[in-house]
C-alpha cells in the first residue's frame, strides 16, 4: 500500500504531459511545432523532456531534507587569542572579545555532503596586549569548505575548510596601522532544526586559526566562536 501511494505521488506531476502525449499520438493530423505541416512524432521529444523535467523537479523538492543548493549566514560572539612574534625579542600575546561571522554557498554532491566556498572572518575591536592597546584586529578569511550532516533531516553536523586570510591591524599609540596576508583553517560542529521546508536555524561552535605575514610581527590568531546560523538547504 505504501509503495503504491509513493508511486502515485511521483507520477502525479507528469500525468498531464503524459496524457497530452497520448492524445497527440492518436490524432491523425497534428500541427508542426513551428507552424509547418503535421508530422508523426514531432512533439514527442518536447513532451518527453517535460515529463522528465516534472519528475526531476518533484525529486529535488523534497521538504525538510538537507539536499540541493546550500546557503548559510551566521554571526556570534568570539574570543580571538593572538600571538605576535617579532623579528627580534620574545613573543607577546593579545586577547579580547570579538565577533565571528560566516557567509557560505555550496551544493550537495552526495547525500548529506556539501562542498562550496565562503568567508569566515572575525573582528576584535579592542584586544588587550600586555596591558596596552594594540589596536583592533580585523581578519577576512575566504576559501573552500565541506559540511556533513549525520542525518539528512537535520541535527548534528560538522564542517571544515582551508582559508586565504587577509588581516588589518588598527594603529595605536604603540604602532601604526598594518596589513598582512596569510593562510588559515576552520573547523566546527553544530546542530540545526528546520523551521520551514528549506530553512533551518541552529548553533555552530567554530574554531578558526589564521597566520598573517607582511607586518612587523608574524601574527598567529586562534578564534573560538559560537554562532547562530540560518541555513537554506
Residue 175: is its pLDDT beyond 50? yes
Measure the CA–CA gap between 80 and 116, rounded to whole angstroms.
Answer: 25
What cell does 72 get? 548559510
Mean of pLDDT values over 149-174? 86
Can you tell me whether residue 10 is helix, strand or coil?
A: helix
Mean of pLDDT values over 194-200? 93
pLDDT given at position 132: 54
Of residues 83 and 224, the one with the higher pLDDT is 224
CA angle 173/174/177 to nearest 5° reads 85
Mean of pLDDT values over 43-56? 41
pLDDT given at position 133: 56
The pTM score is: 0.67
Residue 229: is its pLDDT beyond 60? yes
CB atoms within 10 A of CB 222: 15
Look at residues 179, 188, 183 and name the one whose alpha carbon lies nearest to residue 220: 183
Q: What is the residue whose three cell numbers read 562550496?
A: 116
CB atoms within 10 A of CB 95: 16
Tell the CATH topology of 69-232: Porin (2.40.160)
Look at residues 56, 52, 70 and name the one whose alpha carbon lies nearest to residue 110: 70
Mean pLDDT of the chain: 76
Where exactly are the structural domains of the chain? 2-60, 69-232
pLDDT given at position 112: 92
Of residues 70 and 49, the one with the higher pLDDT is 70
Of residues 221 and 106, the one with the higher pLDDT is 106
Is residue 139 a contact partner of residue 96, using CB atoms and an 8 Å limit?
A: no
Q: How confident is the model at residue 174 (pLDDT cuts 50, 70, 90)?
A: low
Look at residues 120, 125, 200 and name the one whose alpha carbon lies nearest to residue 159: 120
For 212-225, the pLDDT digits (tens) are 887 666 788 899 99
Amino acid at each position: 500500500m505504501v509503495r503504491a501511494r509513493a508511486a502515485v505521488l511521483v507520477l502525479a506531476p507528469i500525468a498531464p504531459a503524459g496524457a497530452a502525449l497520448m492524445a497527440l499520438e492518436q490524432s491523425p493530423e497534428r500541427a508542426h511545432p513551428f507552424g509547418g505541416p503535421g508530422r508523426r512524432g514531432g512533439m514527442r521529444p518536447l513532451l518527453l523532456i517535460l515529463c522528465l523535467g516534472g519528475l526531476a523537479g518533484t525529486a529535488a523538492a523534497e521538504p525538510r531534507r538537507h539536499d540541493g543548493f546550500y546557503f548559510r549566514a551566521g554571526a556570534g560572539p568570539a574570543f580571538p587569542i593572538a600571538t605576535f612574534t617579532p623579528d627580534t625579542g620574545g613573543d607577546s600575546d593579545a586577547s579580547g572579545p570579538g565577533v565571528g561571522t560566516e557567509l557560505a554557498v555550496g551544493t550537495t554532491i552526495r547525500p548529506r555532503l556539501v562542498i562550496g566556498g565562503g568567508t569566515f572572518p572575525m573582528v576584535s575591536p579592542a584586544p588587550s596586549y600586555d596591558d596596552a592597546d594594540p589596536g583592533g584586529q580585523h581578519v577576512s578569511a575566504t576559501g573552500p569548505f565541506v559540511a556533513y550532516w549525520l542525518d539528512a533531516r537535520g541535527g548534528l553536523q560538522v564542517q571544515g575548510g582551508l582559508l586565504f586570510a587577509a588581516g588589518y591591524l588598527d594603529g595605536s599609540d604603540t604602532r601604526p596601522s598594518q596589513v598582512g596576508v596569510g593562510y588559515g583553517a576552520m573547523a566546527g560542529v553544530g546542530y540545526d532544526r528546520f523551521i520551514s521546508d528549506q530553512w533551518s536555524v541552529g548553533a555552530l561552535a567554530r574554531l578558526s586559526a589564521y597566520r598573517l605575514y607582511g607586518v612587523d610581527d608574524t601574527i598567529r590568531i586562534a578564534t573560538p566562536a559560537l554562532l547562530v546560523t540560518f541555513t537554506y538547504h
